[in-house]
A and B are shown apart, each in its own frame.
Chain A
Amino acid sequence: MENPKPFFKTGALIAIAIIFIAAAGCVSENKISKNEAIRVALTDTRTIQAINNSAYNVSEVSTANLGIGTQTQNEVYCVSITVLDGSNKRVNVFVTYDGKVALVDVPYPVITPPHYPGNTS
């Protein structure tokens, strides 16, 4: 009579492998949508403060690798907002895939010449 144990061992290993692969896959399946990322970004108090009641465009939602301090880099959404107050200020809001604002950054803007339409609107 054959010993059934090896078959059980094989089955258990297959099951464990499937669980790990599925778990790895779940990381991306829990992502919020880009529209949800925009909603999260625009309702964050730091974003509201940076926009300061000015008109603005959400110019892009892209992805970014974000690190803070000594932490590991994480892939997140980057919601880029252009403030139309004549300053050409950009507000980059980094939203994690589970819907939290990780960073609101206002990098130094690129200079705009006087004829830039944003300066006259």
Chain B
Amino acid sequence: MYKKEEKMKHVNYGVILLALLLAAMAMIPMVSAQTVTDMSSHPRAVDNATVDARTPPLVLQLRSEGMNESEIAQYLLNMPKSRQPGWTDADNERVIGYFERQPERVTRGMSPMYQEVQKDGRMAIDEYDYHGINGYMKPGNLEVSDTGTEAHYFTSHLGNSGNWVEVGVARFNFSSSQYTVYTYDSGRPSGQQWKTWGTTNPNTDHHFIIYVYDYDGTGYPYAIWWDDNLIDSGHVTHYNNNPDENHEFFAGPSGNFQSCSQGYFKETFLYKKEGSNYNAYWWNGNLPETTQHYSMSPVQHSMTLPSGANSYKMTTWI
């Protein structure tokens, strides 16, 4: 009887110790957060039907009329870009003022150490190989407040050597009910880099495209599309550029950030010209370039290849 009780006691010790052992083993991988799905079985090229389905109807129409790439580029450059109905010059100026207040905040708080107010969740390629990006973004609520995050930019860039263009959604605490669709071109004269198009619902998927065309004698024409509306065009300095997908958080005067719901980029493909061929490749681990991704505390991120998806899904939150 005594031996039986002792045996049971040891069995219980064993179970407890086994649990401790498993917990200790689990702690090691927990140090390094999420893993990224291996996507070696996914093809990297995008088929023509998908590329066409993700090309704005206007471009398809111009092609069907016989225009080549250069002619389409010039058409888009010269085409008037209208803002969202109801979005006035005054709205545009007001929101551009918000954009310009962000660096002022940084400046006021700047001292030699430990005064950074911007945190990013970011995915990028840094090898100067692509002339366009075509994807979807859902910014999410982009929470702002008087005591926490003052501004969010949920944005995709394409650029090279300090010259870039971008398209995204911004929300400011100065005007918290509005989610503004904006573009930026670093090559425009000072004070004219920002443009706003209108407002949007941040909780649905939005289709965005930045596409750079071949050299036209003055530079490389680009076109920026938002939900198949042409919202900006101009010239950039390089044909081959670096793409990224960013969520930029800016703290207010308190220096604090607050919790933020999830936003994501997904189903992105990148345009690459190889010889005389215009190709498109899903942004996943089969690209020859390295994709780097990070989030600066307290921002968190996950970069995964969801089941059935062709490209990375980059999700960010606090």
Contact = CB atoms under 8 A, between A and B. Distances in A.
A and B interact physically: yes
A70 to B, nearest CB: 5
A57 B297 contact: no
A40 B27 CA distance: 28
Interface string B157-194: 10100101010000000000000000010100011011
Contacts of B122: 105, 107
B120 A67 contact: no
Interface string B76-110: 00000000000000000000000110111011001
A54 to B, nearest CB: 13
Contacts of A24: 24, 27-28, 31
Interface string A40-67: 0000000000000000011111111111
B34 A73 contact: yes
A73 B121 CA distance: 13
A37 B14 CA distance: 43
B292 A117 contact: no
Interface in A52-95: 57-75, 78, 80, 82, 87-90, 92, 94
Given A59-B115, A63-B296, A68-B292, 15 more contacts: A10-B10, A13-B18, A59-B113, A60-B116, A69-B36, A73-B32, A75-B31, A80-B116, A80-B296, A89-B162, A105-B126, A110-B248, A111-B184, A116-B103, A116-B107
B100 A113 contact: yes
A82 B114 CA distance: 11
B279 interface: no
Nearest to B39: A70
Contacts of A14: 17
Interface of A: 2-3, 6, 9-10, 13-14, 16-17, 20-21, 23-24, 27-28, 57-75, 78, 80, 82, 87-90, 92, 94, 103, 105, 107-108, 110-114, 116-118
Nearest to B153: A110
A64 B103 contact: no
B33 A75 contact: yes
Q: Is the interface of A mostly helix, strand, loop or mixed?
A: mixed
B114 A21 contact: no
Contact of A17 (B21, B36, B296): B21
A108 B159 contact: yes
B285 to A, nearest CB: 5
Give the size category of B's interface with A. Answer: 35 or more
Contacts of A69: 36, 285, 290-292
A12 B11 CA distance: 14
Contact of B300 (A58, A65, A110, A114): A65
Contact of A70 (B31, B38, B114, B246): B38
20 contacts: A20-B21, A21-B20, A57-B110, A62-B297, A64-B295, A66-B293, A67-B303, A68-B292, A68-B293, A80-B296, A88-B103, A94-B294, A103-B294, A108-B159, A110-B248, A111-B100, A111-B184, A113-B100, A114-B190, A118-B107
